[in-house]
């Protein structure tokens, strides 16, 4: 008996960011599968995939957005459902990877929760991971299987070029983002600067911007970061840039977490425009007029197609997709 094998792609989404999933499937030209997710009375989550995935290349797309723990459990449960339904390969697509800032111990008796999440995805039987702009490159090493790291930099570079002006300076809000800011500066043919900041010992989400390294007097500055959570880092950087003579401050960040009073902080800050991507949905309620949301659906669709076709993901970004 001879059997000619065939491949087919199926994509399912959790409930965190269905709009992004629909846009991705539209770019891929496939139907978005129905996971039939439900909440039981006690808060447990149920799932039943709507069609057979036996032998399929299954992609489970879920951003780890609020409520973060529920979003993670939804993805784990969908992966388990696909595994038990005999999917040939399962890829966890995490546009925003949860717990990414807990990637190391900064004080004694702390967890490394980014590694714990990697272990949970592996235990659920995800064969590979796709994510966008991980907070730290070392997170890739937490997985024993393949990790495809994507970057939203091409989306932001195109957006910034449309607003290009003479004397642009790309600014890293802290020393950890200098490498990413340098790549932006090379593409935009701009100068580079960075803000020296420090976190208050033992206090979460509180930062102090202390100095600027680089020439910014009378120039347009664009602050580049991977996420905006409470907007404390970003607003502190913008204020010190203005204090040191910046003519205008823009900001770009991949993940718009926007917790607490972040939107109010951005509205009252010296920043003129803030561009984020749709890796996470916007919080409920009114948003600041300074906010611009750019889509990463094309980048995700290209990466998913490359994984499905067993072609190179790095070639999509010219090899510049490593954090």
Active site residues: 197
Asked if residues 146 and 177 have their Cβ atoms less than 8 Å apart, the reply is no
Asked if residues 192 and 170 have their Cβ atoms less than 8 Å apart, the reply is yes
Q: Cα separation of 11 and 34, whole Å?
A: 9
Q: Cα separation of 197 and 237, whole Å?
A: 8
Count Cβ atoms below 10 Å from residue 54 Cβ, excluding itself: 10
Give CA torsion, residues 134, 148, 323, 166, to 10 deg. Answer: -100
Asked if residues 81 and 48 have their Cβ atoms less than 8 Å apart, the reply is yes
281 Cβ neighbours under 8 A, 6+ residues apart = 16, 17, 19, 20, 63, 65
**How many residues make up the chain in this entry?**
323
Q: Residue 6 pairs with which residues in a beta bridge?
A: none
Q: Cα separation of 122 and 243, whole Å?
A: 48
Asked if residues 19 and 281 have their Cβ atoms less than 8 Å apart, the reply is yes
What SS3 state is found at 307? helix
Angle at 283 between CA 287 and CA 64, to 5 degrees: 145
In the chain, what is the straight-line distance between the N-terminal and C-terminal CA atoms, in Å? 48
């Amino acid at each position: 008996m001879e059997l000619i094998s065939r491949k087919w792609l199926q994509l399912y989404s959790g409930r965190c960011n269905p709009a992004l999933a629909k846009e991705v499937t539209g770019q891929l030209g496939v139907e978005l599968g129905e996971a039939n997710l439900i909440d039981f009375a006690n808060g447990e989550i149920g799932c039943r995939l709507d069609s057979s995935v036996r032998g399929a290349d299954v992609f489970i797309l879920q951003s780890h957005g609020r409520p973060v723990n529920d979003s993670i459990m939804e993805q784990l449960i969908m992966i388990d459902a696909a595994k038990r339904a005999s999917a040939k390969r399962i890829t966890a697509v995490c546009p925003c990877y949860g717990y990414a800032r807990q990637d190391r111990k900064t004080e004694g008796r702390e967890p490394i929760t980014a590694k714990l999440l990697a272990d949970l995805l592996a235990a659920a039987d995800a064969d590979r991971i796709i994510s966008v702009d991980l907070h730290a490159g070392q997170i890739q090493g937490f997985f024993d299987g393949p990790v495809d790291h994507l970057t939203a930099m091409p989306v932001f570079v195109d957006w910034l070029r449309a607003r290009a002006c003479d004397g642009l300076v790309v600014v890293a809000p802290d020393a950890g983002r200098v490498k990413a800011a340098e790549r932006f500066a090379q593409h935009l043919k701009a100068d580079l600067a960075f803000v020296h900041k420090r976190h208050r010992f033992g206090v979460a989400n509180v930062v102090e911007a202390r100095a600027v390294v680089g020439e910014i007097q009378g120039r347009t500055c664009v602050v580049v970061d991977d996420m905006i959570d409470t907007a404390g880092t970003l607003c502190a950087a913008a204020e010190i840039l203005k204090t040191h003579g910046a003519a205008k401050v823009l900001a770009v960040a991949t993940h718009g977490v926007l917790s607490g009073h972040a939107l109010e902080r951005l509205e009252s800050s010296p920043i003129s425009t803030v561009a984020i991507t749709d890796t996470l949905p916007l919080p409920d309620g009114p948003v600041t007029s300074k906010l611009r949301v750019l889509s990463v659906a094309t980048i995700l669709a290209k990466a998913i197609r490359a994984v499905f076709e067993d072609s190179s993901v790095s070639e999509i970004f010219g090899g510049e997709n490593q954090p």
